[in-house]
Amino acid sequence: MCASPAWAAGADLCDPGELGGPGIALRATKVLTAAGDDGVTEAIIDHGLVLVRDGRIEAVGAADELPIPAGYEVKDLGERWLMPGLVELHSHVAGTGYNDAVYQTNPGLRASATVIPDRLYLQRATAGGVTTLLFIPGSATNMGGQGVLLKPGLDTFDEMLVRAPGSVKIAQGDNPKRWGYGMQRSLMAWNLRQELRAGLAYARRWADHERGAADQPERVVRYDVFRDLLSGHTQVSTHTQYYKLVLTTIEMLRVEFGLDVYIDHGSFDSYKTAKLAADNRVAAILGPREIMWPSPTRYRTDGRVEGSAWGFQRGGQEEIGFNTDAPVVPQEELSVQSAMGVRYGLDNSAAAAVRGLTIVPARTAGIDDSVGSLESGKDADILVLTGDPSDPRTAIEMVYVEGRLVYNAEEGGRLW
Amino acid sequence: MMITLKVKVGQLSLAALFLVSGLSAPAAGLLALEDEDKEEQPEWLAVTGGDVFTGTGSYLRGATVLAKDGKIDSIGYDLFIPEEAERLDAGGMRVYPGLVAISSSGLLGGSGDLADTIDPFSSRMVLGLAAGITTTSQSNQVAKLKRGELEGAVLSEKAFSGLTWSGAGGKRALKEKFETTATYLRAYREWEELVKKDKELKEPSKRGVDSTVLAVLEGRILAKFSANGRDDLLGIARLAQKYGFRPVIEGCGEGWAVADELGRAGAMAIVTPRYRRSKEESLVRDGGSSIENAAILHLAGVSVAVIPSSKSVNLGGIAGRDIMHLIIEAGFAVRGGLPEKSAIDAITIQPARMLGVGHRVGSLEVGKDCDLIVTDGDLLHYETFVQYAVVDGKLVYDKQEELWFSHIRPRPEAPAPEESPVDAGERPEDIEDDGEAGDDDESGDEDEEDGDEGDEDEEGDD
């Protein structure tokens, strides 16, 4: 954070673009805004201009239409492209010791307690264009605890923090079966329901109390996060994978309990739930096992290799995003997940890949008011890159987070 | 079943068609006739109208590659195409040399001695061809993905001599082997000259001479090391320079930090651009992995081949990191600054040369094997699919004729060729096409892969 202290008023202590500094105008050959839903900002602007001041985006438009205010530093990026920083909703690289497995459900545990700022993993994440990530507990138990939304490019926890709790992590994959001998899916489902009922009942008692309809309930720290869930302050991010599991995710968490939940780590034939997911407004965040191939014991594809993202798209799901499960796939390879989506069929003519890396996950996590697209008023989290972000050949040259240049391949060396 | 009988009359080529149903004695006679005739009648394949990337520096738009009996006969424009030639229309598409995967497992179906174990009907072989791979090395042998055919599949029974550079004792022992063998070799060469005058002169003793090292020093085979650490790479470079051989180094993760030394030693590197290695923070020097590794090595004169981290077909696993995505891995070398042309070389001619088969495969040149792929776009683009693969002048893969990927961005139907009234020479190609297509050989061997719960990911604590 750079805010000129009162005694230094008037001195240029802050860099252009960041809070307290002069404005900056970024000019580029192509601007992928990931906007366009409201009809104000075009999704793709050729020869575009992005104005940044005090860490936020001031305006976005065509270079020959948008005037540059006096005193702004103009950066002509030539052939480079601009796009919003990428948003990752399934990451484990911001710290260590986040996968406690003592109890089967752990709604009170917080991944935020284990964050280690500025570690190499996070520097590489930034170099790979990831400017916001959801750092979540592992899937050793059915409910690993609370995730935290962070900006990996910044230096201290306070600066990094976007929102806590970032999510409540539920795991419906097969990993929690390792919890103990004999643990199977029926018990996991039963156990999860018990915890959800208890937690939501607690949250409702508080909600009743807050609108004066009930006495103040006794505080149960373990269940406090359910108040955030009930009030819509956070969501459930679910480690779920293939059709059978994703079906449970939607049927149990969304339909039965009415939770704001999204498919995280969606893989393989999860797309068979596409219509159900779309109808119930459950976003599909996919990766890193995004394709499925004929393997008759579990999957039937009539001999075809199927892309999960394309499957969701065909089924009418529009909210398709990508995740890595870093470090299973390194955090900096988030963009590759979108390349795989497109390679295996996703129609990219309406920029589905870029949207799936930015605005879709931002909206899914409820942080699209500040990140996920280049639109006036949002955080200036901006990537300067050499071309199509999905293409492995494309290099990210610079990364701005809240107007601060946090990565510059030319100066500090290319990290990714 | 259709059998073609070709009769050459003067300069005219005529092809007569016989429809033989239910092979009978006379039919067997016809077969024999055809076999005899084959020796005189070459098999032609013309891949026409594609933008041809030869790998030798040329990029010929809308050109034709003409193969005769499996070898490239000519490449260019306005070629004379014999009318009996089979034709493959590559119009609007691109033609590249078949890719060479410098190491892989499972694509050939076999294991151990490939000559005896290659399965030319393996579904993995089809997937390998779908990934553009026409030649690969497995179990230190080199073979082609000759679908449906065994003859001529194995190109080399020994690709490299593996040497180990590790541990203080191991390094000392290897250095001693080189010293003893080099000393012997000098003495032997001296003796070779002297013995011409003095026939009684005793041949120098081979005691302590290592046959592997001897083969390396005589240039009969390349030595291959596996090393990533900068100090090991430097040690190998010094050994190579001192004894005058070119090492192939697999891994080469910190190669970028000692690229000049590797370049001077004539090293060749097999790299995975997405390789990760942490820098040893206690050491004040460059280290760890770098996305720029391939580019920096290339600039220093090191030959670079690229291979993904997973060397088998693993579509049930993490997308984009297995042998099916060789082009994606090469793309990451470009991200780190390797020129596009060199990145394509790194999956074609460079690995071919390292494997000792650069005279046969790895580029499109007259006289080399006609192993090529036809793609629907720029080879290194993530959307690009292989549409056709040709090995030894035969069409062995057609995306639209296989189940795997035919539904993804299907290739538009080529405009129907004009009906030519009495041009019997056109007909046989249809027959051959049908023969290649619809091979229903994918049924048996899927279950081994991707076990029921086996593909759950690990989420380690750290």
The residues near B448 (Cβ < 8 Å, ≥ 6 apart) are none
Q: Which of B332, B382, B446 is the closest to A390 by Cβ?
A: B382
Backbone angles phi, psi at A221, to 5 degrees: -55, -40
pLDDT category, A12, cuts 50, 70, 90? low
Spatial separation of the C-alpha atoms in residues A54 and B75, rounded to whole Å: 60
| Inter-chain touch A336–B320, beta carbons under 8 Å | yes
How much is the pLDDT for B82? 96
Query: Which single residue is written with the structure tokens 């068979």?
Result: A272
Query: Chain A residues with CB inside 8 Å of B278's CB?
Result: 120
**Would you call B319 and A340 a contact, using CB atoms and an 8 Å cutoff?**
yes
Multiple choice CATH, B160-354, 3.80.10.10, 3.20.20.140, 1.20.120.80, 3.30.200.190: 3.20.20.140
How far is residue A249's CA from residue A259's CA, in Å, rounded to a whole number?
Answer: 10
Asked if residue A199 has pLDDT above 50, the reply is: yes
| Residue B37: per-residue pLDDT | 53
d(Cα B429, Cα A150) in Å, to the nearest integer? 61
Handedness of CA A225, A231, A237, A240 (dihedral sign): positive
- Structural contact between residues A360 and A320, judged by C-beta atoms closer than 8 angstroms: yes
Reduce the DSSP state of residue B37 to 3 states and report it: helix
Q: Enumerate the residues of chain B whose CB falls inside 8 A of the CB of residue A329.
A: 318, 321
Query: Which residues of chain B register pLDDT less than 50?
Result: 1-32, 420-462
- Distances A25 to A49, A67, A268 between C-alpha atoms, Å: 7, 10, 43
pLDDT computed for residue B112 by the predictor: 83
Q: What is the pLDDT of residue B425?
A: 39
Strands (E), B145-239: 154-156, 160-162, 222-227
Tokens standing for B411?
Answer: 């290739």
Could A337 and B455 be called an inter-chain contact, meaning their C-beta atoms sit closer than 8 Å? Answer: no
- E-only strand ranges, A2-125: 24-32, 44-53, 56-62, 73-76, 81-84, 86-91
Q: Do A293 and B403 touch (CB under 8 A)?
A: no
The answer to whether the Cβ–Cβ distance between A289 and B403 falls below 8 Å is no
Which residue in chain B has the smallest CA separation from A100? Answer: B461
In this complex, which of A307, A391, A416 lies closest to B291 when CB atoms are compared? Answer: A416
Of A4 and A130, more confident = A130
How far is Cα A163 from Cα A228, in angstroms, rounded to an integer? Answer: 11
CA distance B318 to A267: 10
- State which residue of chain A sits closest to B407, comparing Cα positions: A304
Q: What does the alpha-carbon distance between residue A12 and residue B32 come to, in Å, rounded to a whole number? A: 92
Task: Give residue A261's pLDDT.
Answer: 98
Can you read off the two tokens belonging to residue A415? 């990290």
Quote the pLDDT of residue A387. Answer: 97
**pLDDT band at A6; cut points 50, 70, 90:** low
Yes or no, beta carbons of B335 and A291 under 8 Å apart: no
SS3 A157: helix
Domains of chain A and CATH, by start: 6-84+401-412 (2.30.40), 86-371 (3.20.20.140)
pLDDT of residue B193: 94
Which residue type occupies A349?
S
Please, what CATH class does the domain formed by B42-98+365-428 belong to?
mainly beta
> CA of B232: how far to CAs of A65, A248, B226, in Å?
58, 52, 9
For residue A210, the Cα-to-chain-centroid distance in whole angstroms is 31
Residues sharing a CB contact under 8 Å with residue B172, sequence separation 6 or more, in sequence order: none
Substitution target in B318, B324, B386 with the highest count of A β-carbons within 10 Å is B318
| Chain B CB contacts of A326 below 8 Å | none
Q: Which region among A290-299, A403-412, B93-102, B183-192 has the lowest average model confidence (pLDDT)?
A: A290-299
CA angle A390, A392, A396 (to 5 degrees): 80
Q: What is the pLDDT of residue A7?
A: 56
Torsion (CA) B66, B69, B70, B75 in degrees, nearest 10:
-20
ipTM of the complex: 0.94
B412 cis-preceded (ω within 30 degrees of 0): no
Q: Comparing C-alpha atoms, which of A15, A37, A23 is closest to residue A375?
A: A37
Which residue, A332, A340, A344, A378, is CA-closest to A359?
Answer: A378
CB contact under 8 Å between B457 and A175, yes or no, is yes
Q: Does the pLDDT at position A279 exceed 80?
A: yes
A289 contacts on B by Cβ (under 8 Å): 316-319, 455, 457
User: Which of B459, B461, B462 to mutate: most A Cβ within 10 Å?
Assistant: B459
Instruction: Give chain B positions within 8 Å (CB) of A328.
Output: 318, 457-459
**Which residues in chain B are closer than 8 Å to A295, comparing Cβ atoms?**
316, 446-447, 449-450
Residues in chain A within 8 Å Cβ distance of B335: 392-395, 416
Q: What is the CA radius of gyration of chain A?
A: 22
Listed in order, the ranges of chain B carrying CATH 3.20.20.140 are 160-354
Q: Give me the mean pLDDT over the A209-218 stretch.
A: 96
Question: Which ranges constitute the DSSP H helices of B21-86?
Answer: 25-38
Give the gap in angstroms from C-alpha A59 to the nearest C-alpha of chain B.
30
Nearest CA to A344 among A316, A314, A317? A314
| Chain B residues touching A337 at Cβ < 8 A | 319-320
CA distance B268 to chain A (A): 23
pLDDT tens digit string along A92-112?
A: 999 998 999 999 999 999 999
Q: Which residue of A has its CA nearest to B291?
A: A416
Q: Which of B155, B442, B159, B145 is nearest to B323 (CA)?
A: B145
Least confident of A37-46, A146-155, A400-409: A37-46
Nearest-CA residue of chain A relative to B408?
Answer: A345
Give the residue range(s) of CATH 2.30.40.10 domains in chain B. 42-98+365-428
Average pLDDT of the segment spanning A212-229? 96
